[in-house]
């Protein structure tokens, strides 16, 4: 039983095609051109060569087998430091905070800061501003502490981690000092691993799909009102698959009842 490829044989052998490819590379005034440009030059017969008809897949294969593909450097990525699971089994073990932006009809930028629980996935702190400073970034954190504990006293949230990225507002001394004074433990996501802050990122994706990308806002006040209304609807109606399609509010209430029992 033969394993030879069926169909008509190509008019040019792989060896001759390789020579043509090397000639195109040698006569080109540029370096590191990809196989698509090499293929185009082969078909056009540039540099005085006879036009060569070869499929894209064949040119790619021949160049790959002979180490002629253009170098591709993948960005450096540190070793994965976590086990791939960022959610928690009970609320108030880890919170995630992040910021996204949108543009008003008046061409002004607006910034939305949020805090989301890594278990219940409810938004427990939201803040809308026309600035993206460290002073604005801490506001949803304070609101989250007050929402969960009823007040915003020193060390009242002791034992709760706060996941954030390496944005300048979050690594600033002011933000870190305020977080520490509330008892929260700063937990920056690993460098070049944004999935570490995936809970907050996922909330913002939902916010964009359900509100920011389908509605426009003339003023910061109208945006703030719409975002706050969305958070209430999200917490009470959005279904969380990992918790059996309960809403974030139902998930938090379930754990509160379990703890009370």
pLDDT in tens, 146-200: 999 999 999 999 999 999 999 999 999 999 999 999 999 999 987 666 667 889 9
Mean pLDDT of the chain: 89
pLDDT score at 70: 76
- In DSSP terms, 113 is beta-bridged to 99, 127
pLDDT tens for residues 45-100?
A: 775 667 888 888 999 999 999 988 877 666 665 565 555 678 899 999 999 999 99
Is residue 136's pLDDT more than 90?
yes
User: Would you list the DSSP string of 202-232?
Assistant: HHHHHHIIIIITT---SSHHHHHHHHHHHHH
pLDDT score at 82: 55
Handedness of CA 9, 10, 16, 18 (dihedral sign): negative
> pTM for this one?
0.70
Is residue 2's pLDDT more than 60?
no
pLDDT score at 111: 98
Is residue 261's pLDDT more than 60?
no
pLDDT score at 144: 97
Q: When comparing pLDDT for 149 and 30, which is higher?
A: 149
Rounded to an integer, what distance in angstroms lies between the CA atom of residue 54 and that of residue 25? 16
CB count in 10 Å sphere of residue 121 = 25
The CA distances from residue 205 to 57, 97, 98, 231, in Å, are 37, 14, 12, 13
In the chain, domain spans: 14-65, 94-233
**Structural contact between residues 102 and 207, judged by C-beta atoms closer than 8 angstroms:** no
The residues, any chain, with a CB within 8 Å of residue 120's CB and separated by 6 or more, are 91, 240, 243, 248, 249, 251, 252, 255
Is residue 1's pLDDT more than 50?
no
The CA distances from residue 223 to 201, 216, 232, 236, in Å, are 19, 8, 14, 20
**Alpha helices by DSSP H, 83-219:** 134-137, 139-149, 168-171, 173-181, 198-207
**Structural contact between residues 117 and 126, judged by C-beta atoms closer than 8 angstroms:** no
Q: Which structure tokens are listed for 165?
A: 């990225």
Rounded to an integer, what distance in angstroms lies between the CA atom of residue 228 and that of residue 157? 23
Residue at token pair 């709760």: 160
pLDDT score at 35: 86
pLDDT score at 189: 86
DSSP structural state of residue 240 = B
Average pLDDT over residues 190-219: 88
Is residue 231's pLDDT more than 70?
yes
> In Å, how far from its chain's centre is CA 152?
31
3-state secondary structure of 109: strand
Which superfamily does 94-233 belong to? Answer: Ribonuclease H-like superfamily/Ribonuclease H (3.30.420.10)
The residues, any chain, with a CB within 8 Å of residue 258's CB and separated by 6 or more, are none
Handedness of CA 183, 184, 185, 188 (dihedral sign): negative
């Amino acid at each position: 039983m033969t394993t030879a490829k069926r169909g008509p044989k190509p008019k040019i052998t792989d060896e001759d095609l390789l020579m043509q490819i090397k000639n195109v590379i040698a006569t080109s005034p540029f370096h590191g051109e990809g196989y698509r440009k090499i293929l185009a030059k082969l078909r056009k017969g540039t540099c005085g060569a006879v036009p060569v008809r070869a499929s894209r897949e064949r040119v790619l294969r021949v160049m790959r087998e002979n180490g002629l593909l253009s170098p591709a450097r993948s960005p450096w990525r540190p070793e994965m430091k976590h086990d791939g699971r960022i959610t928690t089994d009970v609320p108030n073990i880890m919170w995630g905070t992040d910021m996204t932006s949108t543009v008003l009809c008046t061409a002004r930028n607006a910034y939305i800061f949020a805090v989301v629980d890594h278990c219940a996935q409810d938004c427990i702190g939201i803040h809308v501003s026309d600035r993206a400073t460290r002073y604005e970034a801490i506001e949803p954190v304070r609101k989250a502490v007050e929402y969960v504990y009823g007040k915003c006293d020193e060390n009242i949230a002791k034992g709760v981690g706060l996941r954030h990225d390496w944005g300048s507002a979050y690594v600033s001394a002011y933000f870190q000092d305020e977080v520490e004074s509330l008892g929260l433990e700063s937990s920056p996501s690993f460098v070049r691993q944004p999935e570490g802050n995936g809970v907050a990122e996922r909330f913002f994706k939902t916010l964009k799909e359900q509100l920011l990308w389908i509605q426009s806002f003339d003023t910061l006040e109208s945006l703030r009102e719409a975002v706050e209304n969305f958070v209430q609807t999200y917490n009470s109606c959005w279904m969380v698959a990992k918790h059996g399609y309960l809403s974030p509010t139902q998930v938090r209430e379930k754990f509160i009842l379990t703890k009370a029992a």
